[in-house]
Structure 1
Amino acid sequence: MKILLAVDGSAYTKKMLAYLSTHEALISGAVEYTVLTVQAQLPTRARAAVGKQIVDDYYREEAEKVLAPVTKFLARHGITPERASKVGQPGEAIAKFAEAGKFDLVVMGSHGHSSLGNLVMGSVSTQVLAHCKVPVLLVR
C-alpha cells in the first residue's frame, strides 16, 4: 500500500500523525509512505525583486521546516518515508501528486472550518476532495 501524507506543519498535521500512530494498519512496515508539503507561490513581483536563487532557497527552507519533524516522528515508528515538496496551490498540487504517484490513499489533517469559513477562507481539504481521484482520509 502507498500512502501520501499531506502535511503543513500545523497542529492539524500533529493530530493526523497522532491518529496514524494509534492505527496499526496505517503505521506498519508494509506501507510505503511519502510525505508531501506544498508551499504557496510567492507573488510574481516579489520573486522578481529578490531573484530565483533566494526564492528557491526560501521554498527549500520552508519545506524543510515542515518535513523534518514529520520525518523524525515517523522514524520513531521505524518508518523512513520518501519526502517531497511542491510550490503552487496546495489542494490542486496534492491531488495531482497523489494521482501521478499512483497512491492508494491520501491522509491529511483538516482544520474543520464551517461551510461559511470554507467560503470565505477556502479549504485545502475541500480542494483535494474536489480534484483527487485517490481516496482521502481527513483527520479532524
Structure 2
Amino acid sequence: MRILMPVDGSKYSKSSVAFVASRTTLLKTPTEVELVNIQYPVPPRAARALGREMVHSFHEA
C-alpha cells in the first residue's frame, strides 16, 4: 500500500503523520508513506531584500 500525504508544517499535518505512523501495525501489507510539501516561491523583490541564505533557511524550515 502507498499513502501520499500533503504536509505544510501545521499542527494538523503533523497530527496526520503521527496518526498514520502509529497505525502501521494494523495494515496487512507493507506500507510506503510519501510526504509532499510544496513551497510557494518568495517574491523576487523580497528575495533580493532578504538574501539567498535567508530564503533558503525559510524553505528548509
Q: TM-score range by the shorter chain?
A: 0.5 to 0.7
Q: Which has the larger radius of gyration?
A: 2
Partner of 1:52: 52
Distance 2:59 2:6 in 1: 16
Aligned to 1:34: 34
Which segments of structure 1 move beyond 3 Å, counting only runs of 4 or more?
A: none
Identity of aligned residues (%): 31
Report 1 or 2 for greater relative contact order, CA contacts < 8 Å, sequence distance ≥ 6. 2
The alignment yields a C-alpha RMSD, in angstroms, of 2.6
Counterpart position of 2:4: 4
Counterparts of 2:56 and 2:17, CA distance in 1: 28
1:48–1:36 distance in 2 versus 1, CA, 3 Å: same
TM score, norm. by length of structure 1: 0.33
- The structural deviation recorded for 1:29 is 7.0
- In the other structure, the counterpart of 1:67 is none
State the SS of the aligned residue for 1:45: helix
In structure 2, the residue matched to 1:17 is 17
How many residues are treated as equivalent by the alignment? Answer: 58
Question: Which whole-Å CA distance do the structure 1 matches of 2:31 and 2:7 have between them?
Answer: 18
User: Where do 5+ consecutive residues of structure 1 fail to align?
Assistant: 63-140
2:33 partner SS: strand
Q: d(CA) in 1 for partners of 2:58 and 2:11?
A: 22
- Unaligned 5+ segments in structure 2 are none
